[in-house]
Amino acid sequence: MADGEERHGLIHNELPKEHEDPLIRVLHQIIRNSVRVLAVLMALVIVWGVLDVILVLYQRLSAAPVLLLDANDLFDVFGAFMLVLIAIEIFINVRLYLGSNVIPIQLVVATALMAIARKVIVMDLDDIGPKYIFSIGTVVLALGVTYWLVAKREK
């Protein structure tokens, strides 16, 4: 057992390779293979996302006035960039899951924080109301507290 598992008295194995029921063993293998397919697809999405960032940047820089970005252009580029980073975080989640059959809770919460941060970065305050801002703030606070508690527990 790993130190963290011994300290907390937990072993969390989502899809063990060994199981007494042959049907469950086969189903676990199907799911593990499905996760591998998802990892390949996520790698393709990341490549497409990088190409999209390049395309968005090229389009914004080649439009008049050439080689200048306004605030809206920056938000578009930042949004595309953050989507690629979120896709990379999701890929890391899948890769860790494949390597250990354990769902990395802290990384999943960190990915959710990154996704909500993207939403905050590209948020157009002229088009949204106070309830929406309050809701986003509540989600950020809840995820931040959750991340802190999970990190504190794993130390």
Can you give the residue ranges of every domain in the chain?
Answer: 16-154
- What does R_g of the chain's alpha carbons equal in angstroms? 20
Question: In this predicted model, what pLDDT tens digit does every residue of 82-106 receive, in sequence order?
Answer: 889 989 988 888 888 777 766 778 8
Report the distance separating Cα 120 and Cα 100, nearest Å: 33
Whether the pTM exceeds 0.75: the reply is no
Long-range contacts of 43-49 (CB under 8 A, 24+ apart): 43/91, 45/87, 46/84, 46/87, 46/88, 46/91, 49/80, 49/83, 49/84, 49/87
Examine the pLDDT at 141 and tell me if it is beyond 50: yes
Q: What is the pLDDT of residues 11-63, one digit of tens each?
A: 445 666 677 788 888 888 888 888 889 989 999 999 999 999 999 888 888 88
Structure tokens at 139: 């989600």
